[in-house]
Amino acid sequence: MSSYVRISDRIPLPALELDRPFAVSATRTDTYPVHVCRNEGDGVRHLLREIDGRRVAIITDDTVATLHATRLALVLRDHGVHLAMASFPAGEANKSLRTAWDMLDWLASSSIARRDVVLAVGGGVVIDTVGWVASAYMRGVPYVNVPTTLLAHVDAALGGKVAVDHPSAKNLIGAFYQPKAVVSNVGYLSTLDTRQLAAGLAEAIKKGVISSPALFGLIEQVAADVLNRDLVCLEEVVRAASVIKCELVSRDPYEEDLRRPLNFGHTVGHAVETVTGYGPVLHGEAVAFGMTVAAQIAVSRGLLDSGVRDRLVTLLRTVGLPTSLSDLPVPVDPAAVVAALDQVRKIRDGKIRFVLPVELGCTVIADDVTNAEVRDAMLASLAVGTR
């Protein structure tokens, strides 16, 4: 016997009003859970709830496939999940349109349908790329972030900013597309080397500077334990930093207001990544250097007490992050960074908004920072970093 769903619409025609526009309303509110746990068993339990019987496509990178994703796929299959998996080469250089196209082509040849679920399992490169792929495939399929780096846990996996890089600028091609859920298993962080953990701490430290003196103080207390992969401390930092990130994002999820404290350290940081070819300098390392430059500009302008800048520099250096040009893993020409910033100015109608700290938990947005100030601060950071 046939089953029907009756839909009755009787929409009246509008009055004829020439040259007068009519309004179109298209609003959407996204809410999603963030599960923070310490082991894969709990992570799988959360994933099964979010998958809810749907087919799954895991997309990861080759490194994470070996470390975590292949095992996770086997466990999910053992629980009856119909699953396929693909991976691409690791590294920021592969956060590209070419990679995105390959993943879209793979999805198109799979059995994944509009209501099935894509799992992004990996660090920031995987999560940013897969999120953008999910936003484009079939005009948007649900995706769940399963971060495996500290930076992804506290930053990339949250907020729905998805993108791939372009040779002219980082994250130039992207969208705002919120995940269905985030499952943050800090147990995965046990496989990270110290450099990657430090890079992740940079994003947590950033959140402390712009909005939470308590988080900044917490990181000062437990930084050594985090670098030693203490799961209790990792969970505490991840949960705190994630809550703060989500609170800040919820105020302006689609960045309609260009005054964004979360960009602290990213203006110069992104330029450093661009001029070094997306790879030799980790994102967190570039952000750490960018925070030092922004803090130095704030000190030079009389906005920030030098003691607060020194406290920031001390914490960054304590965890092994670069705070000067000489600390960066490859040579960086200040003139090239300034040129990259000029390219960003072209994209943003001639203005760059710098986030400058005033004190812990307070920032100002400045759109009049000059190239000379940036250059001087980059050179001054040499002295700050070697005290």
Instruction: Assess whether 171 and 211 both reside in one domain.
Output: no
- Has residue 6 been placed in a domain? no
**Phi (first) and psi of residue 371, to 5 degrees:** -60, -35
Q: Torsion-angle region of residue 112: left (phi > 0), alpha (psi -120 to 50) or beta?
A: beta
Count structural domains, the chain: 2
Q: What is the largest CA-CA distance in the chain?
A: 82
Asked whether 184 and 34 are in contact (CB, 8 A), the reply is yes
- Predicted local confidence at residue 256, as pLDDT: 78
Q: Does residue 79 belong to any structural domain of this protein?
A: yes
Residue 58: name the closest of 144, 124, 174 by CA: 144
Boundary (domain end) residue, out of 191, 213, 243: 191
Tokens for 247? 């609170």
Do 285 and 370 belong together in one domain?
A: yes
If asked whether residues 198 and 72 sit together in one domain, one would say no
Helices (H) and strands (E) in the chain, counts: 14, 10
Which helix (H) or strand (E) segment holds residue 124: the answer is helix 124-136
Residue 66: pLDDT over 90: yes
- 122 vs 94: CA distance, rounded Å: 13
Residue 3 lies in a domain: no
Q: What is the mean pLDDT of residues 374-385?
A: 81
Do the beta carbons of residue 206 and residue 196 sit within 8 Å? no
Structural domain boundaries enclosing 81: 34-191
Q: How far apart are CA 160 and CA 165, in angstroms?
A: 16
Selection from 76, 78, 43, 223 nearest residue 148 by Cα: 43
Residue 170: its pLDDT value, please? 83
Are residues 179 and 155 both part of a single domain? Answer: yes
Average pLDDT for 112-118: 96
For residue 184, the SS3 value is strand
Please work out, in degrees rounded to the nearest 5, the angle formed at the alpha carbon of residue 380 by the alpha carbons of 375 and 385: 130
Handedness of CA 258, 240, 270, 355 (dihedral sign): positive
| Confidence class for position 23, pLDDT limits 50, 70, 90 | confident
CATH of the domain at 167: 3.40.50.1970
Pairwise CA distance, residues 124 & 137, whole Å: 20
Token pair for 248: 């800040």
Q: What is the pLDDT of residues 318-345, one digit of tens each?
A: 999 999 999 999 999 999 999 999 877 7
What's the rounded Cα separation, in Å, for the pair 145 and 135?
Answer: 13
Residues 222-235: what's their mean pLDDT? 97
219 in a structural domain: yes
Domain stops at, among 191, 221, 255: 191
Task: Please indicate, yes or no, whether residues 171 and 241 belong to a single structural domain of this protein.
Answer: no
Positive or negative CA dihedral for 112, 114, 117, 118? positive
| Nearest C-alpha neighbor of 224 from the set 244, 197, 196 | 197
Q: Are residues 208 and 354 in the same domain?
A: yes
The DSSP code for 154 is I
Q: How many CB atoms lie within 10 A of CB 161?
A: 22
In a domain, 204, yes or no: yes
Per DSSP, the residues of 361-384 read TEEEEES---HHHHHHHHHHHHHH
Shared domain for 269 and 376, answered yes or no, is yes
pTM of the predicted protein model = 0.90
Q: What's 337's domain CATH number?
A: 1.20.1090.10
- H or E segment at 99? helix 97-108
Do 284 and 325 fall into the same domain?
Answer: yes
Domain boundary among 133, 164, 191: 191
Share of the chain above pLDDT 90, in %: 81
Ranges 18-27, 194-203, 286-295: which has the least confidence? 18-27
d(CA 57, CA 39): 22
List the catalytic residues. 139, 161, 203, 245, 255, 259, 263, 266, 270, 283
pLDDT (tens digit per residue) in 5-22: 888 888 888 887 778 888
- Mark whether 81 and 126 lie in a shared domain: yes
| 203 and 172 together in one domain | no
Residue 300 lies in a domain: yes
Asked whether residue 214 falls in the same domain as residue 177, the answer is no
* pLDDT at position 361: 96
Look at residue 385 in the predicted model and tell me its pLDDT. Answer: 56
125 domain-assigned: yes
Residues 171 and 292 in one domain: no
Q: Tokens 């400045």 label which residue?
A: 366
Residue 28 scores a pLDDT above 90: no
Average pLDDT over residues 56-77: 98
